[in-house]
Amino acid sequence: MGPLKNSLFEPVEKEIVLVEEGIEAVADVEYAWLAELLNYIVVSGGKRVRPALTLLSGKIDGHFDLEVIIPVAIGIELLHTATLVHDDTIDLSSRRRGKPTAASVWGGGIATLAGDYLFSKSAQMVSRANSVRADRLFAETLMALCTGELEQSFTSHSENQDRQTYFRIIGNKTAALFSMATEAGAVVTGAAEEAVLALRDYGYNLGMAFQIVDDILDFTADEKELGKPVASDLLQGNLTLPSIMLKERQPDDNPIRAIFENRDRERKLALAIEMIRNSEIVPACYRVAQDFTARACEALKIFPESPSKRALFELADYLIDRQQ
């Protein structure tokens, strides 16, 4: 769908254009083979939610230095992109956002290296802010992302995956990056410590809600909307909030074990999807997500009214209501 052009990002509309240009410029490299690979990956049609969070967070207090905030916002989107490339490579995913993944076009080896390259480019962009704190935040965020993905891999196909595991994993693999996006926006614009912590808190809770909604849509949307197969997490052995709730509600009468053990998988998967769709599970999951967005918005109460604050509020609603 490309960058969100609607009113959500209005306070940073011009800056988002600069971020998009900066992201595309990553593919301006000497070697044609590398330019083609990078261009394929970075021009992805992503919504650019994370850099928008950085920009809105940077602007909420009024401070704003384009030379500093734009590279950081670009760096955060590239970090996100790099992790997607590695995730797709590891999961052997064939499609992302409706087009073949880099791994399925160039092979896993080159996709892994392209992800590494984007990590380095991301670190380089963040370092342009000349902030040791932002550089450290970058390193810690990457560490959280990897810990989350590793825990997901290690617990995959285990029926012991519960809410606690799930919240810890999505806290690391999704909320940490949202939280970095908002915290870095505050840090590099020299916001007061109280503002930094409030924006970090907002970002973290928004990220939790975002991931929960993603995991709901994985069951409720159709393959075309998702750009990938329905219930792909369950297929890969990962329980998310909807399937954990199914397991909680019907511990002895659910198709999860059969799916994990690859017994009659196609029919059992269809059954799991139906059981989740035709139950109170979906609204219950949305209530959990809304609890997180409520906490996110609560964190913003220290800021006076401003267009950026309003946009951050609206973004929370939008992320809950979205259909893809």
Applying CB under 8 A, the residues found at the interface with its own copies are 31, 33-34, 37, 86, 89-91, 108-110, 112-117, 119-121, 123-124, 127, 130-132, 135-136, 138-143, 145-147, 149-151, 153-154
Q: Is 176 or 296 the residue whose CB approaches its own copies more closely?
A: 176
Q: Is 135 or 314 the residue whose CB approaches its own copies more closely?
A: 135
Quote the DSSP letter at residue 31: -
- Shortest distance, position 135 Cβ to its own copies, whole Å: 4
Q: Are 324 and 217 in contact (CB under 8 A)?
A: yes
Residues 6+ apart with CB under 8 A from 126: 71, 72, 75, 76, 134, 135, 137, 138, 184
- Shortest distance, position 294 Cβ to its own copies, whole Å: 30
- Shortest distance, position 192 Cβ to its own copies, whole Å: 21
Q: Is 133 or 287 the residue whose CB approaches its own copies more closely?
A: 133
CA distances from 216 to 66, 161, 170, 212, 241 (A): 37, 17, 13, 6, 8
Q: Is 184 or 299 the residue whose CB approaches its own copies more closely?
A: 184
Distance CA 211, CA 190 (A): 29
- Shortest distance, position 12 Cβ to its own copies, whole Å: 25
CA distances from 131 to 57, 103, 123, 126 (A): 17, 34, 12, 8
- Shortest distance, position 69 Cβ to its own copies, whole Å: 16
Q: Is 37 or 52 the residue whose CB approaches its own copies more closely?
A: 37
**Helix, strand, coil abundance in the chain, percent, nearest 5:** 75, 0, 25
